[in-house]
Amino acid sequence: MNAIIDINIWELAMGFLLLIFPMAFFYYFRIRMEKDVLINVVRMAVQLFLVALYLEFIFTLNNAWVNSLWVLLMIIVGVFTITRRVSLNRKYFIVPFFIAGLTSILIIDTFCLGFILKLDYVFDARYFIPITGMVLGNALNHNIVGLNRYFTSLTEKRELYQFLLTNTANSKIAIRPFIEDAARAALNPMIANMSVIGLVTLPGMMTGQILGGSPPAVAIKYQVMIMVAIFVGCTINIFFSIILSNRFIFDAYGNFKQNLIQQKKKQLQKK
């Protein structure tokens, strides 16, 4: 295997020229997204360069406490992002979402790093941070979709929930259709993606390892492991988030507390 080809700063800058194509489409069809795209692309680049500098320090230090604090920070940022994107009252949902995220990471990291890779040092930054980051990053995206569907359905279909609650006299049964709908919305895209990996898409971890010089067979085994870990992590996260949130969004009689959901109040009032 040849050594990895580096990209200098000028070559990287040239890569941004590809943005001409989407910008041309936006301009032609008068889609006002140019400013948002440019701001977020610059923000992404700056954030990643800052993270690269910090990760250099973390990888060199390779301290269990520092690595764990970095992971906790990632979970906290993810929790705040979810509550903001799903328009939830942070006062009630930060703790449930944090517990859900932490639980999924503890299960996935313990199994993958401890039992599959059999690392002597489970907190080794080379494995601990990238694998945890991939699980959390995917869980964030799918949680936003699933939780948004869950709380939107409860808000817009209150009559259906009340009907099921009245006829079954069991809040757990009444809530099942909403949980199923949320789980399908959150996990179906990932299931579909897994079905075409290798045929239509070459996933990031495998591609990165191959570009880094790893044999394709090794890269594929890591990719299989991480895809299973990501799917399980996302599933644990979405179900724990819903289950723990239910303790706050329903009263003792099983009635839905809509006031805890800030979701699109103005739009609902207009309707």
What is the per-residue pLDDT for 260? 67
- Angstrom CA distances, 227 to 103, 141, 194, stand at 18, 15, 8
Nearest to 138 by CA among 90, 186, 184, 181: 186
Q: What's the predicted TM-score (pTM) here?
A: 0.81
Distance, CA of 256 to CA of 136 (rounded, Å): 29
Distance, CA of 100 to CA of 234 (rounded, Å): 10
What is the per-residue pLDDT for 111? 94
Distance, CA of 104 to CA of 125 (rounded, Å): 19
For 147, list phi and psi in degrees, rounded to 5.
-70, -35
What is the per-residue pLDDT for 6? 78
Distance, CA of 232 to CA of 90 (rounded, Å): 26
Query: Residue-wise over 30-65: b if at least 16 C-beta within 10 A, else e?
Result: eeeeeeeeeeeeeeeeeeeeeeeeebeebeeeeeee
Q: Tens-digit pLDDT profile for the chain (271 aa)? A: 456 677 888 998 899 999 999 999 999 999 999 999 999 999 999 988 888 888 888 989 999 999 999 999 999 999 999 999 888 888 889 999 999 999 999 999 999 999 999 999 999 998 999 899 999 999 999 999 999 999 999 888 888 988 988 888 888 899 999 999 999 999 999 998 888 887 776 677 777 777 777 788 888 888 889 999 999 999 999 999 999 998 888 877 777 777 667 644 444 444 4
Distance, CA of 70 to CA of 42 (rounded, Å): 23
Q: What is the secondary structure of 220-231 as a DSSP string?
A: HHHHHHHHHHHH
Cβ atoms within 10 Å of 204's Cβ, excluding its own: 11
